[in-house]
Chain A
Amino acid sequence: MNAARRERSGTARTGQPVASTGYETVRRVLADCETKRSFGVVRVTGEPGGLIYLADGGVIAIETAGAPGADVVLLRSGRIRESEWTAAYAEAAAHGQLAAELTSRGLIGAAELEAVLRVALADAMFAVAGGLVEECALEQVAAHGSEDGQGPAGTGGEAPVLLPLSPPASPTWLLAETVRRLEVLARTPELVRHDRDRVTADPERPANTPLSRAQEELAGLANGRRTARDMAFVTGRGVYALSLELTRMNRAGLVAITSRRAIRPPADGTRKQAPAPKSQPAAEASQPPLPRRSNPGRQPRPGPAEIAPPPSSALHRLLKLFPAATDGDAEAGTGS
């Protein structure tokens, strides 16, 4: 295997080990908040980063660009119609009572809503703590007025959370679930990584391969530009679940990874560089260090990320352009 085309270990075929994600940083901060029974918002800066809303030391909501929130899940999955949602929202959202409004209108049962919130929360924690973390700190501590722990976070003046989980989720539980998922992914060969691997459906897949409706939907979305995270926002399904589903489809030859999103490393530069574009193997050795996020006026990374071939190309031509995506890469391992 040409050394210039070999990806650095840990970025090729399986998920990253837990230690190279932001997990430990997030765990430390949330453990501290849980002990102190904090109210407020933990701001995570990174990729994707996000906001973790706390009440009485427990998590009531997470906002992140890395995973769809409960509102997107409910709407995109079709569980609640947009017109019904809009009406409930108009009535209740400003007072932080949207959950009660949805259930009282019969749009969703309380138990089902709580389940949806819990699942979305776990997915969001996986996206945030399993991603890159540059900074993680409790940003606002509200006045200790919400003694019942039921109200929205930040009752010291910020906008209420749209759909707070009540009672709050233990950070210990959320983080344990994140670790479990990361460990599963670290053992999964031919993994379609949720935040960076873009997949294209194989137009020449065998005709006798039956696809479930869910797989048909994903194959239809696999246009070479979307990651599992992107598909999660379109379908309202979970990021982790889609990563595994696309991995199964990848192994079955129904889709292929045709490009990878370059993820910026954290500010301390301990993470290895993102892989060089496959089409420019000679450039890999000379790629300069990626810029610090906080430098104003910095130049963006030189060179494009991998460019996906036009969708009309037959898959075998695509795979010729990205040989490492198909070879049994001898260097594939779990180290980073």
Chain B
Amino acid sequence: MAGEALLAEMEALRDRVSGITDTALATRDGLLMKADTADVDPDNIAAMASAMLSVARTMAAEARRGSLQEATTRGSGGYIATYAVGATALLVVVGDTGLDLAQLYRESRATVENLRRLLGSTAGQASLAPAASLLAA
């Protein structure tokens, strides 16, 4: 069941990296697909992460800092990091103050790749149909 496989990847990431409190997988335009959350509202997080990723990509290009790797917000209570997943999805990771962002980046590469593969994203594919079918999973 594809939906369970997505969730399994997200939960495995939370297992591997100390400090992750919540993760959410969404379409690039902010529609929630899968949530492994407790204290945050996953729909709101997904929508905001979409906006953050979009602005961050534009910013990275504008400042000529290369391709976007990670959009990160740091608060006194912890972090929120957002990663692109292929061309059509994104992964948001929320963590506490003990989260090691460098470790998170390293450990999330395999997760992002596996999620991308599971979603069947291909470059330029804009259709929500495959992603939407997973909402029912």
Tell me, yes or no, whether A binds B. yes
B118 is an interface residue with CB less than 8 A from chain A? no
**Residue contact A65 to B111, C-beta cutoff 8 Å:** no
Report the nearest B residue to A227, measured CB to CB.
B18
A15 is an interface residue with CB less than 8 A from chain B? no
**Residue contact B97 to A230, C-beta cutoff 8 Å:** no
Task: Map CB proximity to A onto B38-57 as digits: 1 under 8 Å, 0 otherwise.
Answer: 10000000000000000000
**CA distance in complex: A301, B15 (Å):** 11
**Residue contact B98 to A68, C-beta cutoff 8 Å:** yes
User: Which parts of B1-53 form the interface with A (CB within 8 Å)?
Assistant: 7-9, 11-16, 18-19, 21, 38
> Separation in Å of the A299 CB from the closest CB of chain B?
7
**CA distance in complex: A67, B8 (Å):** 26
**Residue contact B98 to A303, C-beta cutoff 8 Å:** no
**Residue contact A225 to B16, C-beta cutoff 8 Å:** no
Q: In the complex, what residues of A have CB within 8 A of residue B96's CB?
A: 230, 233-234
**Residue contact B97 to A305, C-beta cutoff 8 Å:** no
A264 is an interface residue with CB less than 8 A from chain B? yes
Q: How many B residues face the partner with a CB closer than 8 A?
A: 23
Q: Decide: A223 near B98, CB < 8 A? Known: A299-B114, A300-B110, A303-B8.
A: no
A144 is an interface residue with CB less than 8 A from chain B? no
**Residue contact A304 to B21, C-beta cutoff 8 Å:** no
User: Which parts of A195-216 form the interface with B (CB within 8 Å)?
Assistant: 195
**Residue contact B76 to A300, C-beta cutoff 8 Å:** no
Q: In the complex, what residues of A have CB within 8 A of residue B8's CB?
A: 303-304
Task: Map CB proximity to B onto A153-194 as digits: 1 under 8 Å, 0 otherwise.
Answer: 000000000000000000000000000000000000000000
Report the nearest A residue to B15, measured CB to CB.
A305
Task: Map CB proximity to B onto A244-273 as digits: 1 under 8 Å, 0 otherwise.
Answer: 000000000000000001101000000000
A307 is an interface residue with CB less than 8 A from chain B? yes
**Residue contact B16 to A304, C-beta cutoff 8 Å:** no
Q: In the complex, what residues of A have CB within 8 A of residue B70's CB?
A: none
User: Which parts of B109-128 form the interface with A (CB within 8 Å)?
Assistant: 110-111, 114
Besides A225-B21, A297-B110, A300-B110, 15 more A-B contacts (Cβ < 8 Å) are A47-B18, A65-B103, A72-B98, A75-B76, A82-B76, A233-B97, A234-B96, A261-B15, A298-B110, A299-B110, A300-B13, A300-B16, A304-B11, A305-B12, A305-B14
